[in-house]
Chains A and B, each alone.
Chain A
Amino acid sequence: MKKVHVQITLNGEETEFLCEPRQSLLEVLRDVLGYTGTKEGCLTGDCGACSVIMDGRPIDSCLVLGIEAEGKEITTVEGLADGDTLHPLQKKFLEHAALQCGICTPGFLVTSKALLDRNPNPTEHEIRYALAGNLCRCTGYDKIVRAVQDAASQMQGR
């Protein structure tokens, strides 16, 4: 199948790639660009393991084609930390033991970041609503919600 040239901004860097029209953004990130932090859980947009931020909105990268990303700004889990300095969400996920197996963690982190970017002070219900598209089978979500609450407080300087 003939490949198409696509240009995106990936974690702040201008990035070009060639992909087949049938390849999803998820497949491009993982298999073409080597960004395997974004995970595949279902390929039907039900589990959120493949969540990335596209132009400020959290999306399931399994439901977007690579060619549809042309000109977009994409943030993946690899783009959250600033060099060696973890994002407050990453720190709080570790402190609160908000991950067990860790496969859903990249998706929860980027979805949580998209939430806090637009609503820096969410209620517990708003957090649960925002994260309802991300499945975690290990934690029962309790520690994830607490980690997001704590990260929000810290980022607000409280």
Chain B
Amino acid sequence: MAARQEHKFKVIGTRPIRHDGVDKVTGRAQYGADIDLAGLLHGKTLRSSHAHANIKSIDTSAAEALSGVKAVITAQDFPNIEPGMAQMGELPVNPQHMSLNCIARDKVLYDGHVVAAVVATSPHIAEEALKLIKVDYEVLPHVQNVMDAMNDDAPILLPGLGKGDDGEPKDTNVANHVQFERGDIAAGFAAAEVIVEREFDTSMVHQGYIEPHNSVAQYSSDGQSTIWVSTQGAFTARDQTAMVLDMPASKIKVVPAEIGGGFGGKIPIYFEPISLILSKKTGKPVKMVMSRAEVLKATGPTPGSHIRVKMGADKDGKITAAEVWMAYEAGGFPGSPVGAGCMTIITPYDIENLKIDGYDVLVNKPKTAAYRAPGSTNAAMGSETVIDELAEKLGIDPLEFRRINGAKEGTAQAAGPKFGRIGYLETVEAAKTSDHFKSELPQVEGRRVGRGVASGFWFNAGFQSSATVAINSDGTANVVTGSIDIGGTRASCAMIAAEVLGLTAEEVHPVVADTESIGHTDMTGGSRVTFATGTAVYDAAQDVLSQLKERAAKSWKVETDQVTFQDGVFTCTTNGNESMTLKELSGKLPRTGGPVMGRASVNPRGVGPAFATHVVDVAVDEETGKVDILRYTAVQDVGTAIHPSYVEGQMQGGVAQGIGWALNEEYVYGDDGRLQNAGFLDYRMPTCLDLPMIETVLVEVPNPGHPVGVRGVGEVPIIPPPAAIANAIYSATGVRMADLPMSPPRLCKAILEKNG
């Protein structure tokens, strides 16, 4: 493995018990749905069962008359947000679309689109009242496939979305077209010994967090509002809610509850503004919790796509050209991650001649949201299986093919910027030398077995973070950040502070604050928290340390530069090397100037990209098309691993989601435009019994852009699995699968076709 950072860490790289752990194993941790307030009312929403329809009228009178019902609202109770773009953090957003996705005004765009909401004294009464609301719809033809939606005669979701050559608004479902081009692809393909071109269709899939969306809101007559919610970003939820309700953001306080999974799907708002309006109407706190069917029908998901990949390579295995065309389902409103798909699809490789086109296309399905390395997993299904085929045709080992073409420091990405220090080739090498790759393929009676490999790239993100570190009188420290902790970031932030201050992980207490108790912090996403919030914590801890040195100097009556700090001990370099522990000094703070608190706010630019290379063995039942995962190894450049157990956990969890995406998960729509599998029985995510142990190899190439070398780790592990499994299925059966999921019926059909 690559060498660790030169300086030795004391806390970083160890595996302490997470600080929020005991609360989570005893049932004490408070998630959004666990919040209870005096006088609490319960809200429920009425949703469209049509994929595309105009709302002619809504009659709420019978619902309002039901005993126990306190209010019924429709879009008429919300401000009418004007078209236009706004800035949220570094990201452009469309407040009108955000508003219309929370509650439809004139038309519904997908099965599950909210049209009205009821608040009552119990959730059961609210549900009964929903049945009494009469909505008169004019049903419109719907379109749910990107290729159909791009046709000139397709039903139009949002009229005037595009711009014609004359500059006038034009009817189209294509919300955006991105393109990257460099070199000369015709010359590149002409220089190729072999060319492979294939088309792929991937299904819409859901993030699948186990906790449904929730929101508890309290509107106060002085205009101040509080929302308790399981969200990936307290400030993000606050700012979106303020936009949708046309309120100043400062009037809303968001208190982040514990969050039961997000994976990108809990960045958008859904119930926050509705519960707040219901609270304003009734003067009471209002709780709303989604059902699983609502979660699947109307939150998340990540796009299905149509992708065409053409790549050529010369006889030495050097890729000479790549041409990619892809269209992603945006859902009912613009904003699929097709841009990220374009910027990641062939980025692990150094390719001189390339052309990539990406289209963001409206379809009558829920508005898509981020999902772990958004846009990249389905893209890699295309590129990484084509690469496997190129390698095979040239008679080159697929890992060797990746080594020949792999990106390294100085390689230009598809989007232009050159990579800094990255560890892609290190992951390829570590995969090659892994126990798994060197092992014989296991044999399974009555099954065909095969092995596949694939790689993935994800940018990782920086964005804004704030942190404070305060010293307690007993010599411990509190770390306060605004970063929602989904998978152990309280522990990683505390460990970084502990490392700086010479404390143990247990002597640092991490806290996730509400929007009035810490500076602005962007959402937990983009694998950014341990990197960006970790940087803020590191800087705040350094701030504390320099203040503590001043205090030590003051108590010894020397200059600050005569004080050194190592392993939790302050030493005076003059005065006969007097020394004092941090604990001893913390007791002297009141007499040396008062409390010590450090602070930092950052928007760090030194983001370190992540690369992964995976190896998988499968057994295929040719009779049924069922694929069993026999062995799985995930190799990843994780930068410095702060808490290796949680780094491994991110890798294993990403792999499990990738396996589900590869083999089973898909949104199934009927001809009527309605979702047919809005439950966990039919939206089939991997269970314990479907998976083997997932082996991890942590390659640590420190990120020079972070004080202790952190890269993000959470997203890249979801990217390789579908392609790696497709390559393994090919090695087992000789069938090249091009569609996701590679479910038993699809694979069975492909095997039957191949066998004639």
Contacts and interface: CB of A to CB of B under 8 A. Distances in A.
Interface of A: 1, 20, 22, 30, 34-44, 46-47, 49, 76-78, 80-81, 86, 90, 93-97, 99-106, 109, 127-129, 131-146
Given A103-B31, A137-B207, 11 more contacts: A30-B34, A37-B26, A41-B212, A101-B211, A101-B258, A103-B209, A103-B258, A104-B260, A132-B688, A136-B688, A143-B649
Contacts of B653: 100, 137-140
B649 A132 contact: no
B133 interface: no
A144 B27 contact: no
B689 interface: yes
A77 B21 contact: no
Contact of A105 (B17, B24, B209, B263): B24
A102 B656 contact: no
Contacts of A77: 25-27
A44 B653 CA distance: 24
B681 interface: yes
Interface of B: 15, 17-18, 20-22, 24-31, 33-34, 36, 124, 207-212, 258-263, 289, 291-292, 486-488, 643, 645-646, 648-650, 652-657, 679-681, 685, 687-689, 691, 693-694
A77 B33 CA distance: 17
Given A43-B291, A46-B679, A95-B17, A86 B261 contact: no
A35 B27 contact: yes
Closest 7 CB pairs of A and B: A37-B27, A103-B260, A140-B656, A140-B652, A102-B24, A46-B680, A97-B645
A95 B30 CA distance: 22
Contacts of B657: 137
A129 B258 CA distance: 29
Contacts of B688: 127-128, 131-132, 134, 136, 141, 144-145
A86 B25 contact: yes
Residues of B contacting A: mostly: loop
A44 B294 CA distance: 13
Contact of A109 (B25, B289, B645, B679): B25
Nearest to A108: B688
Contact of A104 (B28, B210, B259, B292): B210
Contacts, number: 183
B27 A100 contact: no
Given A39-B31, A40-B212, A145-B688, A102 B260 contact: yes
Nearest to B488: A100
Contact of A101 (B15, B21, B33, B209): B209
Contacts of A39: 31, 33, 210-211, 260
A104 B656 CA distance: 16
B66 to A, nearest CB: 13
A46 B289 CA distance: 18
Contacts of A80: 25-26
24 contacts: A36-B27, A37-B27, A39-B31, A40-B33, A40-B289, A46-B679, A47-B210, A49-B210, A77-B25, A77-B27, A90-B22, A97-B18, A99-B24, A100-B486, A100-B646, A101-B258, A101-B260, A103-B209, A103-B261, A128-B688, A137-B653, A138-B486, A141-B691, A142-B693
Contacts of A36: 27, 30-31, 33-34, 36
B210 A103 contact: yes
Instruction: Tell which of A20, A131, A142 has the most Cβ of chain B within 10 Å.
Output: A142
A100 B26 contact: no
B26 A90 contact: yes
A42 B293 CA distance: 8
A100 B484 CA distance: 12
